Structure 1
Amino acid sequence: METTRSTPCKWDETALLVIDMQNDFLLAKAVVPSVAKVVSLARERGILVIWVVREHDPLGRDVELFRRHLYSNGKGLTMKGAKGAELVEGLKIREGEYKLVKTRFSAFFNTNLDALLKATRIKRLVIVGVQTPNCIRQTVFDAVALDYEHVTVIVDATAAATPEIHSSNIRDMENVGVATPTLQEWTCAAT
Structure 2
Amino acid sequence: MNTAFIGLDYIVDIMHPDGKIARSAAHAAQRDVISKANRALAIAEAKGWLRVLVKVGFDPHYLDQPKQSPMFGRADRFGALKLGEHGTEFHPELKVSGNHLVIVKPRISAFYATGLDAALRANRIERLVVAGVSSSWAVQATARDAHDRDYQVCITEDACAAVDDTEHQTSMKLMSAIAQIITVSEMESL
1:108-137 CA distance string (max 9 Å, x none): 111111111111100000011110111110
1:66-145 mapped onto 2 (5 Å cutoff): 66=69, 67-72=72-77, 75-145=78-148
Structure 1 residue 90: Cα displacement: 1.9
Structure-1 separation of matches of 2:175 and 2:79: 30
Letter in 2 for 1:94: S
Deviation at 1:143, TM superposition (A): 0.3
Write the distance in 1 (CA, Å) between the matches of 2:64 and 2:86: 19
**Match of 2:21?**
none
Match of 1:6 in 2: none
**How high is the TM-score relative to the length of structure 2?**
0.86
| Deviation, structure 1 residue 97 | 1.8
What residue identity is the alignment partner of 1:102? K
Comparing 23-32 and 52-61, the one that deviates more: 52-61
- Classify the secondary structure of the residue corresponding to 1:180: strand
Greater CA radius of gyration, 1 or 2?
A: 1
> Any unmatched runs of 5+ in structure 2?
16-24
Inter-partner Cα distance in structure 2 for 1:76 and 1:58: 9
Distance in 2 between residues matched to 1:145 and 1:21, nearest whole Å: 24
| Structure with more relative contact order (C-alpha pairs < 8 Å, separation 6 or more) | 2
Indicate the residue corresponding to 2:52 in structure 1.
50
Root-mean-square deviation (CA, aligned residues, Å) is 1.4
Q: What are structure 1's unaligned runs of at least 5 residues?
A: 1-9
TM-score (norm 1): 0.86
Q: Which amino acid aligns with 1:158?
A: C
